[in-house]
Amino acid sequence: MVRLIQSTVRLNFLLQELKLFTTIIFLFVASFSIGQSLSIISYDSIVIGDAWQSNAIYAHAAIQNNSAFDVDVHVKRIDSGYNALTDNNAICWGICYYPDVSESTMVITIETGSIDSLNFTGHVYPDKDGIPNSGNITYVFFNANKPSDSVIMTVNYQVDILSSVLDELGAKGVQLFPNPAKDFINLEFSENLTSQTNFKLFNTKGKLVFQERLTGLNKTRVIHLSNLKSGIYFYAITEDKRNIKTGRLIIQ
């Protein structure tokens, strides 16, 4: 009789454990089905190009599938708020579409727990009229089988005068050396600059990778570049948002 009671108690205990385990599994699966499957883990929030020379400037993004299932993903752009810079643009998602296509037709399947950082680019095609401008474009990545399961990002596209077309070198007599450089460069000015001056470096895609404010100048300044990778860069020295010198810098 005692053994029968003990067996019954043990059976009830096991049934309660099984019920608890089943509840946990249900909540775990439900959390994936209710929550958002996708997230944007990185993207180019600002993209910079040359107002005279850039044929196209473009942004990248890395999309992650956080769910327990593979997700078929589309991308679309929000067609509103375009200006003279952003009115000519296109999206790529596996394939590239004509500018008049706002939503991808191709589905990219992102496996559970995986990141897709190769298939998306957002393109803007500047007029190359030499007029600095900027504008935003918003993109939405969404589950093809459940469009409300989506994530959104906004990219700011900018064009500025990065080339030497309007270089005012003669006005300020700016010298930059050595070029090629390694760990540093020297800047020398023919006169003291009393207004706000900035030194900017852009990579070959037009993305700003380094900036330093030049204040309290006594005609010379050392810029340390040891944290930058070797390669070709474009620099711009601006005073009150005017380019006083631009050009190409090689870092070894």
pLDDT for the residue 19: 52
Say which residues have a Cβ less than 8 Å from residue 45's Cβ, sequence separation at least 6.
153, 154, 155, 156
Say which residues have a Cβ less than 8 Å from residue 150's Cβ, sequence separation at least 6.
36, 38, 140, 141, 142, 143
Q: Return the bridge partners of 89, or none.
A: 124
Residue-averaged pLDDT of the chain = 81
Measuring CA to CA, which residue among 130, 45, 44 is closest to residue 84? Answer: 130
pLDDT band at 68 (very low <50, low <70, confident <90, very high): very high
Q: Would you give the distance in Å from CA 224 to the centre of its chain? A: 25
Which range, of 19-23, 61-65, 189-193, 211-215, averages the lowest pLDDT?
19-23
Contact between 132 and 126 under an 8 Å Cβ cutoff? The reply is no
The 3-state DSSP class for residue 177 equals strand
For residues 79 and 218, give the distance between their C-alpha atoms in angstroms, rounded to a whole number.
Answer: 49
pLDDT band at 154 (very low <50, low <70, confident <90, very high): very high
Residue ranges of the domains in the chain?
1-34, 38-160, 169-251
pLDDT band at 50 (very low <50, low <70, confident <90, very high): confident
Compute the average pLDDT of residues 14-19. Answer: 50
The 3-state DSSP class for residue 229 equals coil
Query: 38-160 has which fold?
Result: Immunoglobulin-like (2.60.40)
In terms of pTM, does the model score above 0.85? no
Q: How far is CA 228 from CA 155, 180, 210, in A?
A: 24, 13, 8
pLDDT for the residue 10: 55
pLDDT band at 25 (very low <50, low <70, confident <90, very high): very low
Contact between 44 and 155 under an 8 Å Cβ cutoff? The reply is yes
Query: 169-251 has which fold?
Result: Immunoglobulin-like (2.60.40)
pLDDT at 150 over 50: yes
In the chain, pLDDT over 70 holds for what percent of residues? 76
pLDDT at 191 over 50: yes
Please tell me if the domain spanning 38-160 has the same topology as the one spanning 169-251: yes
Measuring CA to CA, which residue among 135, 109, 112 is closest to residue 124? Answer: 135
Q: What is the DSSP letter of 164?
A: S
